[in-house]
């Protein structure tokens, strides 16, 4: 089987990344559209964002299957069918979830030697494996590296880790698109 296309879509907050990514798949000939949501409804703002994204997909001309996967992206692999179009939204949220997995027990992943490297490797491998089954995979992530460097060590660590992940995702992607005020700029 031919590997499906991988498209990486990044951009600033509210730049139109998700709408653009959804449009890519809605206009495709993929047999089924799968939305892999990484958000956790941890506060009222996130609850509202999740609700808005669900409503947007309900208004779509095509039906979406939603799979909620805050951290375990490899767990999605068994749910994907040949010919699917898969949207993973978003790596920014996935990274925050992964970094702080175990927080409630006093041992966040980012504080454990090798934990983040393992999770990032699993996530990147899952993206490649998704493309082995799906016709198209679209990965969405926020671009936070255009902002001034934070004075907080954990925030700097997060931004630097996200930058490394973005470079790795662009490397394995067929296309890399940056959204700016609703306008897509194709870099690869």
Please give the annotated binding residues, written as ranges.
37-39, 54-57, 68, 89
In order, the DSSP letters of 5-36 are EEEEEEESTTSSHHHHHHHHHHTS--SSEEEE
Q: State how far the Cα of 166 lies from the Cα of 11, in Å rounded to an integer.
A: 11
* Catalytic residue numbers, as ranges: 53
CA distances 43 to 46, 48, 107, Å, are 5, 9, 22
Backbone CA torsion sign across 52, 53, 54, 57: positive
* Strand, coil or helix: 65: strand
User: Residues forming the annotated binding site for GTP?
Assistant: 37-39, 54-57, 68, 89
């Amino acid at each position: 089987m031919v590997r499906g296309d991988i498209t990486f879509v990044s951009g600033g907050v509210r730049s139109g990344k998700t709408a653009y990514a959804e449009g890519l798949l809605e206009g495709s000939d993929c047999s089924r559209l799968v939305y892999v949501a990484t958000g956790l409804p941890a506060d009222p703002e996130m609850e509202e964002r999740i609700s808005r994204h669900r409503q947007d997909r309900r208004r779509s001309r095509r039906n979406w299957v939603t799979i909620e996967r805050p951290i375990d992206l490899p767990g999605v692999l068994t749910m994907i069918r040949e010919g699917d179009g898969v949207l993973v939204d978003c790596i920014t949220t996935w990274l925050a979830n992964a970094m702080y997995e175990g927080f409630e027990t006093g041992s966040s992943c980012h504080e454990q030697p090798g934990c983040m490297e393992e999770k990032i490797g699993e996530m990147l491998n899952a993206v490649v494996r998704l493309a082995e089954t799906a016709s198209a995979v679209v990965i969405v992530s926020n671009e936070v590296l255009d902002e001034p460097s934070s004075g907080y060590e954990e925030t700097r660590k997060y931004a630097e880790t996200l930058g490394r992940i973005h470079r790795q995702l662009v490397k394995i992607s067929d296309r890399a698109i940056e959204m700016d005020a609703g306008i897509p700029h194709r870099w690869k």
